Amino acid sequence: MRTEIIPSILEQTKEKFLERYSAVSTAAKTVQLDVLDNSFVPFMDFCDPDFINGLHPTLNFEIHFMINEVRRALDSWQFPWVKKIIFHYETVSEAPALIQEILACGKEAAMAINPETHPDAIWDLLPILSCVQVMTVHPGQNASPFLPATLVHIKQIRGRSKKIDIEVDGGIDPQTAPLCHAAGANIFVVGSYLGNNEIEERLQLLKQSVS
């Protein structure tokens, strides 16, 4: 199964977004953009889809919705550079219908689960998901501490499916990435460890840690 390192973007201002976007653009093919609106988590960030489209992105974007009204926001992100939509299990009551809506838009459908959510809540959804994202921190802020207990969730999901992508997000660095990889994760979302300097060198260290 392929392994992939994906830089994340979680910035509060347009200026900081542009700085981060510029830094990761030269080092990665795919980035994950966090979308926060002070509903699901008590934080906001800069995530204007029309502004980003005006940059004519050559990167592939994953959109990680950390919001309650995913359906309402979905139409705003129907751009070719958006390849995957990630929403939280904890924010929806009709997950199968939302997954079908995402697939109908030509996007990959992925579901994130918080550290407190047991994976058995999503077993019935695995056949229609391309990816499960395990939050290895409490979501919403950069530099939150890695939660080792979430390794059990990764193992349980991999035990259920050998084919599905398991993405991990939060506190990922050369020490924690191998733990997640050994548990069954194959996609690693990385934020604060990369910073905006020496990104290519740090990405290489991460790749080596899970090879």
Average pLDDT of the residues in 117-124: 97
What's the confidence (pLDDT) of residue 141?
Answer: 73
What's the confidence (pLDDT) of residue 70?
Answer: 96
Rounded to whole angstroms, the Cα distance separating 200 from 26 reads 8
Q: What are the tens digits of pLDDT across the range 72-116?
A: 999 999 999 999 999 999 999 999 999 999 999 999 999 999 999
What's the confidence (pLDDT) of residue 197?
Answer: 86
Q: Dihedral of CA 154/39/93/130: which sign?
A: negative
Q: Which domain holds residue 131?
A: 4-209
Strand-strand pairing, 82-88 and 60-66: parallel
Looking up residue 78, the CATH number of its domain turns out to be 3.20.20.70
Mean pLDDT over the full length of the chain: 96
What's the confidence (pLDDT) of residue 142?
Answer: 75
Residue 36's contacts (CB-CB under 8 Å, 6 or more residues apart) are: 10, 43, 44, 45, 47, 66, 67, 140
**Poorest-confidence range of 63-72, 181-190, 193-202?**
193-202
Q: Dihedral of CA 90/134/163/57: which sign?
A: positive
Question: pLDDT at residue 195 above 90?
Answer: no
- pLDDT-based confidence at residue 196 (cuts at 50, 70, 90): confident
Rounded to whole angstroms, the Cα distance separating 204 from 207 reads 5
What's the confidence (pLDDT) of residue 145?
Answer: 92
What's the confidence (pLDDT) of residue 175?
Answer: 98
Residue 206's contacts (CB-CB under 8 Å, 6 or more residues apart) are: 5, 172, 173, 174, 177, 188, 190, 193
Residue whose C-alpha is closest to residue 85's, from 52, 104, 202, 41: 104
Question: pLDDT at residue 165 above 90?
Answer: yes
What's the confidence (pLDDT) of residue 199?
Answer: 93
The number of folded domains in the chain is 1
The pTM of the full predicted model, rounded to 2 decimals, is 0.96
Residue that wins the pLDDT comparison between 26 and 87: 87
Rounded to whole angstroms, the Cα distance separating 48 from 21 reads 13
Percent of the chain topping pLDDT 70: 100
Question: pLDDT at residue 46 above 80?
Answer: yes
Residue whose C-alpha is closest to residue 32's, from 73, 72, 77, 70: 77
Asked whether 70 and 90 are in contact (CB, 8 A), the reply is: no
Asked whether 6 and 31 are in contact (CB, 8 A), the reply is: yes
- Cα 40 from chain centre: 15
Average pLDDT of the residues in 29-52: 96
Question: pLDDT at residue 174 above 90?
Answer: yes
Rounded to whole angstroms, the Cα distance separating 104 from 156 reads 29
First to last CA, the chain: 11
